[in-house]
Amino acid sequence: AQKITQTQPGMFVQEKEAVTLDCTYDTSDPSYGLFWYKQPSSGEMIFLIYQGSYDQQNATEGRYSLNFQKARKSANLVISASQLGDSAMYFCAMTFNKFYFGSGTKLNVKP
Amino acid sequence: SQTIHQWPATLVQPVGSPLSLECTVEGTSNPNLYWYRQAAGRGLQLLFYSVGIGQISSEVPQNLSASRPQDRQFILSSKKLLLSDSGFYLCAWSVLGAGAKNIQYFGAGTRLSVL
């Protein structure tokens, strides 16, 4: 069975600091994709970053980077220089033939 | 560029009434289409997905059904709503890229309250 685990229901970070949101996954398939989405209070799911299982380098998109540790089956999201607008729910997801979402982490950025 | 439209944004319906939520995608052809439901404070539950016109896969047996009458149109329906159908419904589309790069892009969602 495939599984995505986010162990941090809620996180606080000071504005301008970096924060790491944890995600671990479980799959026996060698080819898969890992994703992070942001869901602000408005509800829309916003795609942030993608990492393929065969990618050699960690993915980066602006202030977002994905710390991919394949042997440990972890795909943590790092947000650098947090902004107040980063306050939202963050979901880790995985796909190989279907899409699987984690339970989410609620991030609060404090001024 | 591709856009996805989902409506209505909010809906309040009595128990036992029918439901029809519509989702359309612009700017791409033959997308994969998805319906998700999200309970308050929870993750996303995949309800249906479609890889082409008339092709619907159901993930969870329930009171809902889906149809894809056109390439870029996806409809979620119910003949008789239950209280448990309340939630936030999200439509998404994707086009499978190289490897497992199946990025899904979401609509703005519909908040359904069944009273």
% pLDDT > 90, chain A: 85
pLDDT band at B96 (very low <50, low <70, confident <90, very high): confident
- Is the pLDDT at B81 greater than 70, yes or no? yes
Can you tell me the distance from the alpha carbon of B41 to that of A20, in angstroms, rounded to the nearest whole number? Answer: 21
Task: Name the residue in chain B with its Cα closest to that of A48.
Answer: B103
Q: What is the pLDDT of residue A97?
A: 67
Query: What value, to the nearest 5°, has the Cα angle with vertex B60 and ends A5 and B9?
Result: 85
Give residue-wise pLDDT tens across range B27-55. 988 999 999 999 887 889 899 999 899 99
Task: Name the residue in chain B with its Cα closest to that of A36.
Answer: B103
Identify the weakest region by mean pLDDT among A5-9, B38-42, B55-59, B83-87: B38-42
* Contact call for A43 and B111, based on CB within 8 A: yes
Can you tell me the distance from the alpha carbon of A60 to that of A51, in angstroms, rounded to the nearest whole number? Answer: 9
Q: Which of A44, A45, A52 sits opposite B100 (nearest CB)?
A: A52
Q: What is the pLDDT of residue B61?
A: 66
CA A93 to chain centre: 7
For residue A90, give the nearest of B44, B102, B94, B105 by alpha carbon.
Answer: B44
- What is chain B's length? 115
